[in-house]
Each structure stands twice: as structure tokens, then as C-alpha cells.
Structure 1
């Protein structure tokens, strides 16, 4: 097994990468949505619900993984959203989600892709919207709602906030911010 080629691409999407991502989502967008629906169907409806999010402001890729042939096989993307102010998380947040194609899924790749995303996202303070004080992660996959995965997220600096209306766990990680004129 060779190491995946992982690239942090937040704020640096070339026309070539944009084209590759469009092709990736053209092929995997529907399976991704179907997978999310199946996760939601298997989750209990008795979880505490949190109404955090308003309409998305922007959506963009933040990190990608490539297989041996150079094709994209995993994407971490972020969505900037305005928040309901009742949660004491600030007025805005970045919402993160990751998708790895089924034939490339393994814990090592997921860990490397997620950590590369976090390191790059932490480093690129000036590229992020200064109004976003937190990074939110929704763990809708039941495999991520195990004690070992909860410890993993806690070690990475996330704090669990509760569940949402989709049946996922919402985790928050504070972001350093920088405002300049």
C-alpha cells in the first residue's frame, strides 16, 4: 500500500482542480447523498436536537486525497454558515464534512486526510472568514458514534455539543481568528 497523496486546497482551487472536483461529484455526488440518507434512517430519533445552522454562505473544498493513478478519492469540504446566536458559538461557523469513495476507505486514509485538513485549516487563518469562531463537524455515520471515535475527536480538540435534526452528533472545535482591513 502506498501513501495517499493529500493536498490542502482551501482557497487555492485552480481551474484544473475545479474541473476534477466537478467530475468527482458528478460521479460520487448521488452515492454520497444516498449514503447520508441511509445513515439518517438508521439513527435513533430520540437524540437531543440542535438547531444551529442557517443558509450556507459559501461551500468549498479544503483538502483532497488522490489514489495511485492521481484520481481524487477523498474530499474534505467546508461550508461557511451563519449560526443561530442562542448557542454561544459566535455569529458564523465553518461546517466540515468528509467523503472518501467506498473502494478507498480505510482508517489510515481517513485519519491522514482529516489531520492534513485540520493542520492546513489551522495554519491558514488569513484565508478563513474572521467571523467564524468554530469549526463544526457532523458525525452522521454510526461508525463515528463509537467511544473510540469520540476519544479521537476529543484528542483533536473537538467538544461534542449534542445531536442535530438529521441524527448526527455535532462536534465543535475553536478556531483562531484574524481580522484585517
Structure 2
């Protein structure tokens, strides 16, 4: 780790594992958060930097309020070539925003990068410590299928693009279990933040 930058923790986990909830718990503990999904929303939202480029690549997928995520999802899901074209547009833009965030938080001991496809896209080498958020299969399925517009087929399709949870857990430096009550998950986060800060002192 370079001495002139914060210790970077990468937070990841498959769909429905409770990653956003855990990310917020880190924020509550005073750890600055860069949320890759939120960055994508900003880039694709009203007046977003990538809206025109996405419309050019995938005509009919944007409106005056930015990218229609359902239409864009339908245009790329199950089409690896289309997905790669979209990623070539999005990844560099998100990386630039992440670099800016890093520069703004250079004096922090610890920062958190929330990156959904950290392992799948080979990003684990860019962080110092990887946390995987995990829950049992039943918890995951129930959470995901309760989302609006979600079907079994779509859930299975998304899961097929993600590394299996068991594999992620093996690759992790730490695992946060969200099958437990909320307060217990929060205690896991608090203990981990204390441990990481103590190791840097």
C-alpha cells in the first residue's frame, strides 16, 4: 500500500445479499463510501455524461429523464457483445469518478469501494482488503424475488453472470453475514472497522 493514500476496502457480494445495507453501516461508522452503482446512476440519469453515447449505441433506450434501465437491460442481457460495448463506455467513466473520490479522501485512514462485480471484472487487485457480503440461498432468493419486476428467470440470468457466492467467500479477506438479525450484522461491521483501523495505527 502506498503511504500517501487511504487503506482501500473493496465491498462486494452477489445480488440480494444485503450489500447496500452493509455499505450504509460502514458509512454510519464514519468510513467514506464510493458506490459504483450510484456513480452509474449519476452517469445515466437526467443530464448524465453518458446518456447521449448510450442512446447512440442503443437507440430508444433513453428519455428526457436519462437512461431507461429496464429498456437498456433488455437490450444487453443475454447479449455478451452488446454488454461488452456498454461496459467499454461505462467502466472508464466510473474509474475516473472513483479516482476523483480517492483524491478527495486522501487524508482518511480507511475508505470503502462498493463494487458489485469486483471479482468478475478483475478489480480485486486494486483494493487492499476484500469484504464479501453473504447470506443463505433462501434469504437471497426471497429478497431478490420481492423486488418489483423481478422474475425467477431474470434472477437466474443475473446469477449466471455472477461468481458463485461460495467462491467469493473463499476469495474474501472478510465475510459479513446478513442472514443474521440487523443488529448482529451491524456488530460485525463495527468490529471489522475497529480491527482494520487498529491494524493501520
TM-score, structure 2 as length reference = 0.27
Give the greater-gyration-radius structure (CA): 2
TM-score, structure 1 as length reference = 0.29
Relative to its length, the structure with more helix (as a share) is 2
Q: RCO greater where, 1 or 2, for CA within 8 Å and sep 6 or more?
A: 2
